[in-house]
Amino acid sequence: MIGNRFVIPHDITPSNVSLKRNTHMKSILTAIIAAAFFTNAICQSQNSSKGFRSFEEFKNGQASLAINSSITQRTEGNVFMTGGITNYVFKKVKPKELIPQIEQELWGVECNGEFYINAYPYSKMKGYNKIEEMGFYSYFIGEPARTLNEQRSLGIVGPNDPLMGVCCKAGYVMKQDGTVKLLSPKMCRELISDNPELLTEFDKANLKMENVLEMFAFLKRYNEAKD
Question: Which DSSP string do the residues of the chain spell out, in sequence order?
Answer: -BTTB----GGGSHHHHHHHHHHHHHHHHHHHHHHHHHHHHHHHHHT-EEEESSHHHHHHT---EEESS-EEEPPGGGSSSTT----EEE-S-SSGGGHHIIIII--EEEETTEEEEESHHHHS--SEEEEEE-SSSEEEEEPPP-SHHHHHHHTSS-TTPPP----S-EEEEE-TTS-EEE--HHHHHHHTTT-HHHHHHHHHH---TT-HHHHHHHHHHHHHHH-
Domain parsing of the chain, residue ranges: 9-41
For residue 211, the model assigns a pLDDT of 92
20 vs 109: which has the higher pLDDT:
109
The pTM assigned to this predicted structure is 0.73
16 vs 196: which has the higher pLDDT:
196
* pLDDT band with cut points at 50, 70 and 90 for residue 17: very low
32-49 pLDDT per residue, tens? 334 333 323 333 445 788
163-208 pLDDT per residue, tens? 888 767 789 999 999 999 999 999 999 999 999 999 999 999 999 9
